[in-house]
Structure 1
Amino acid sequence: MKIVFIILSFILITTQLSFGQKKQIITDTISVDGICEKCKARIEDAAFIKGVKKADWDMTTKKLVVIFDQHKTTLKTIETSIAKAGHDAGDIKALPADYNKLPSCCAYKDAQISH
């Protein structure tokens, strides 16, 4: 009977601790390179990982506004996911192999050079 009481106490304590944690919803902005509607769709899709509630990239400002639960993901994890899709995001640069997979209309590095 004592063991059952200890087990039930443990379950009750861990359940209360997990329910006691409130979501920490954060809104932040990331600079993300891109140039077109295809880029916008790709960037927002890549940013929308577990824990992200909303991702909205503005083509004019090159800024991605993300709303996310900081208990489920981090800004660095979001930036890494975007970089793997071929777009420089914040401090994380896309690897050449990932950048080279972008369609020609999305070659933002080439567009920066020509301007």
Structure 2
Amino acid sequence: MKKLFLLALILVGFCAATFAQNRKPEWATIKTPNLRCWECKKRLEDYMAREIAQTESGIIKTQINLLSGTTRVQYWPDRVNLNYIQTAFANAGFDADDIKAEPDSYKKLPPACKRVEEGGGPQKGKPCHMQPM
């Protein structure tokens, strides 16, 4: 009986370890419509670097596409969920899917990073998706 119990215990431990190791990071694409210039990109990258360092939140990396206004995020789903990531973007001052930017952070953004309907966005003849030289 002791051998059977020991075998069952080992089997449960092995299954639990296997399940934990099978977790893979996931990718999510978040619409970030007011994230269209290199300065905004730098702000979000700096904010997310601090977020990752301070909380070990499970966010692995971000890939920002300024031309399409989207950001891909790789994260560990057992540590963080998509709503947490969207809220982090909002706290940095940027809209993320259906979540609006936190007002105080949004006010600190430069004019090019503001929403188009509020007079923000790129200026005519001045592409802002490329860093000035």
SS across alignment from 1:55: strand
Q: Hey, what's the Cα distance between the residues in 1 that align with 2:100 and 2:24?
A: 27
Q: Hey, what's the Cα distance between the residues in 2 that align with 1:14 and 1:45?
A: 40
Paired residues of 1:24 and 1:71 also in contact (CA < 8 A): no
- Please list, as runs of the form range in 1=range in 2, the aligned pairs for 1:1-115 lying within 5 A after superposition: 17=16, 20-21=19-20, 22-32=22-32, 33-47=34-48, 49=52, 50-108=57-115, 109-111=118-120
TM-score (ref. length: structure 2):
0.64
Q: Hey, what's the Cα distance between the residues in 1 that align with 2:17 and 2:73?
A: 25
Structure 1 partner of 2:131: none
Gaps of at least 5 residues in structure 2 are 1-8, 125-133
AA partner of residue 70 (structure 2): K
Q: Deviations 1:46-101 (Å, cap 9, x if unpaired)?
A: 44532112201111000101111101111110110010010001121112222102
TM-score (ref. length: structure 1):
0.72
Q: Identify if the C-alpha distance between structure 1 residues 72 and 45 changes in structure 2 by more than 3 Å, giving closer, same or farther.
A: farther
SS across alignment from 2:119: helix
Q: Hey, what's the Cα distance between the residues in 2 that align with 1:102 and 1:14?
A: 51
SS across alignment from 1:88: coil
Q: CA deviation at 1:34?
A: 1.7
Gaps of at least 5 residues in structure 1 are 1-8
Q: Hey, what's the Cα distance between the residues in 2 that align with 1:18 and 1:93?
A: 40
AA partner of residue 36 (structure 1): C
SS across alignment from 1:34: coil
Paired residues of 1:31 and 1:64 also in contact (CA < 8 A): yes
Paired residues of 2:112 and 2:120 also in contact (CA < 8 A): no
Percent of residue pairs bearing the same amino acid type:
29
